[in-house]
Structure 1
């Protein structure tokens, strides 16, 4: 019995020793694997703006793969980026909830927002934890006047974009012999459109344009017949719309059906005006439409690759893809510079450094004391021959503007 006991004990010890060796080795194996850094993306994956959110996701995922394939975050031992997606469900309240969940799930920095109302609540939620939040294309000037030190905006403000839009409009109109004298403004009734109306009402008259009427509509809107009937009676030379995709398409199609043909449609953040979906599905209504909007640098080779990536999914390219691709690149750069995922270090890195702007035409991105990227620049596009061409400024232009658009 004694021998049996001793034999059993010996086998047990040998097995235990082998298990212990495996356990002791495990931390080394874990250390050999690249750590994970989580970046959050807040976008409307469902709801009225789901198409925009999906395009943003494609751009963000492309950037994550590109960074990880190139070795990850080198300052953190080759840490791989994991993208966490928070669905704002196309409304402001859910935007805040999505940000809270991303924080809970371990995101060290959050990007996105899309619409100004969603970006407002989402970034406010992030600021409660001093969690860095970089806004993508939301343009409301009020986003950057709240004194939130952890909130930054990559794209241009509405005020800065209006400056660019009006400068370009004057140049285009002057080149056409001042063909446009009267203007109607059509806008959605949220932060985006209301901001347009206020700025245009102040800025257009001193430039020699007469505003014949400012027309507001709700979002979502199911019918634009009354708006277009009013435009028909006013007969303005130029229509300046600012609204989201569905409403823009509805306005343009209704104008086409009712044979309302102004000398030009000149949009500022015009929803569908810089969308290949609109151009592909309603080419006649889209032809000649001009827009001042976020747009990737057409001369950057990566921008063409993003277009192909979107096309491969059966979708249509729009600005959401390049701007969110670029945001992930900036977030990764900030982590590299901070050599940390600690919130304070990341906020400091974003505030004090300059960044490569990905595929956006911004040169070097630099955030000022309010968190605004001072080098952000919208591009002037026009639908020409079933394609979207950059027409201003000259260093990015692919074609000259055609105005009046109706000949």
Structure 2
């Protein structure tokens, strides 16, 4: 296994910190300022706040002594590589708007003097915000945006800890093959997606993987994420009646879609979502039994976390602190912040190039995370090659793992409408 950073490099960086004054380097005990960039107002504020809570908990794990948590940097207080320096998380509100996100990167880097940026939940915002960070020469660590295009731009300062939509798509099509093996008739698929970076990229990936395994996409409908009504778009899907409907939507649209399906009495045999709005606690609370039967991909699961001591403890701490269960979104933010903290600690510096090099060298085994992954290791494009996904289904108001079989906690309900009967 690779070391987090070579001993020679670490020593050189520590010497550099000691020799530098109070400029861009962090000396012993000096706080490390990190930016957290999420939609804290606007239509996606509930998801943004959930992501923020995961990041805040990771900062608490680093800054305070948590000897009972078996994760890097949990025992002891602060970053030992920087003399016990604490992390200070400085937030920026994207409002869910790409141009606002880019402007916030400017403010956070030039005025707040942050060492790195974490964000921005929505792929479209992450696209522009990370380009601004690239221009400024500051590491940008993405926690939850899954658009494949984000790591195909040749950026040198961009890192994504979570899976891509292609990783998720392959997990979901593996699930469909498993259902076919159990006798389910799955001959066609449809795609229903928001007309934005996240939705358009995800739709393209879905069509690509479907073609590889020989499942025709008989309908592909894009919708305006701000649309007040989705009846006409749902009617287009119903006319083709696919055996499986893939959906990419944020919370408001996800809730609106489920209500529209009910109003039109249209129930596809299976609905497979790409997380996002379907992973928001507001999805289940806003729909009640109408949410039952929906399936979604996930990078984290409370059920799987319960089998891993550190993840179970972190989930319990999250519940105690925020009075709500940890979600996929908050778990991914927690993981991104902790990964960045390990890189800064290994570098012994907040100098941007040193942090970037330490991120490139990072090698965290899966058991030292709270995720059901093989670990955190970035490839040349900045993508974590250890990230993976599972498939969950909403049953009786909570998501249960249904795929893969070795991690499943229950059998899937098919067709989905049976889950409400």
Normalising by the residue count of structure 1, what TM-score does the alignment of the two structures yield? 0.86
Aligned to 2:233: 227
Q: How many Å separate the matches in 1 of 2:131 and 2:258?
A: 35
Paired with 1:204 and 1:312, the residues of 2 have a C-alpha distance of 42
Contact 1:117 1:191 in 2 (8 A): yes
Q: Which residue of 2 aligns with 1:215?
A: 221
Deviation at 1:400, TM superposition (A): 2.5
How far residue 313 of structure 1 moved from its aligned partner, in angstroms, is 3.8
Secondary structure of the corresponding residue to residue 91 of structure 2: strand
How far apart, in 2, do the equivalents of 1:204 and 1:47 lie?
A: 34
Contact 2:37 2:118 in 1 (8 A): yes
2:182 counterpart of 1:187: no
- Structure 1 runs (4+) greater than 4 angstroms displaced: 301-305, 314-317
For the residue of structure 1 that corresponds to 2:221, the secondary structure is strand
CA distance in 1, matches of 2:121, 2:135: 20
> How do residues 263-274 of structure 1 correspond to structure 2 at under 5 angstroms?
263-267=269-273, 269-274=274-279
Select between 274-283 and 285-294 the one with higher mean Cα deviation: 274-283
Partner of 1:116: 123
Per-residue deviation, 1:50 = 1.1
For structure 1, the residue ranges without an aligned partner over 5 or more in a row are: 1-30
Counterpart for residue 333 of structure 2: 324
Q: CA 1:264 to 1:308, structure 2 compared with 1: closer, same or farther past 3 Å?
A: farther
Q: Cα RMSD over matched residues?
A: 2.3
Q: Name the SS for the 2:88 alignment partner.
A: strand
Q: Work out the number of aligned pairs and report it.
A: 375
Query: SS where residue 180 of structure 1 aligns?
Result: coil
Any idea what SS the aligned residue of 1:170 has?
helix
Question: 2:366 aligned with 1:346, yes or no?
Answer: no
Distance 2:120 2:232 in 1: 32
Name the CA shift for 1:111/1:62 in 2 (closer, same or farther; >3 Å): same
Aligned to 2:45: 50
Q: Within 1, Cα distance between the matches of 2:180 and 2:288?
A: 24
The 10-residue stretch of structure 1 (114-123 or 295-304) with the greater mean CA deviation from structure 2 = 295-304
Alpha-carbon distance between aligned partners in 1 of 2:387 and 2:234, rounded to the nearest angstrom: 34
Give the distance between the partners of 1:276 and 1:344, measured in 2 at CA: 38
Distance 1:34 1:308 in 2: 26
- Matching residue of 2:253: 247
Point out which structure has higher relative CO (alpha carbons under 8 A, 6+ apart).
Answer: 2
2:82 matched to which residue of 1?
76
Partner residue in 1 for 2:280: 275
How far does residue 403 in structure 1 lie from its aligned partner after superposition? Answer: 2.1
User: What CA deviation, in whole Å up to 9, does each residue of 1:283-337 have, x standing for no partner?
Assistant: 3221111111332443334545436635754656432211111111111100111
**Following superposition of structure 1 onto structure 2, how do residues 136-215 of structure 1 map, counting pairs within 5 Å?**
136-175=143-182, 177-205=183-211, 207-215=213-221
TM-score of the superposed pair, with normalisation by structure 2: 0.83
After superposing the two structures, state which structure 1 stretch, 202-211 or 178-187, moved more: 202-211
The aligned counterpart of 1:10 is none
* Alpha carbons 1:55, 1:310 under 8 Å: kept: no
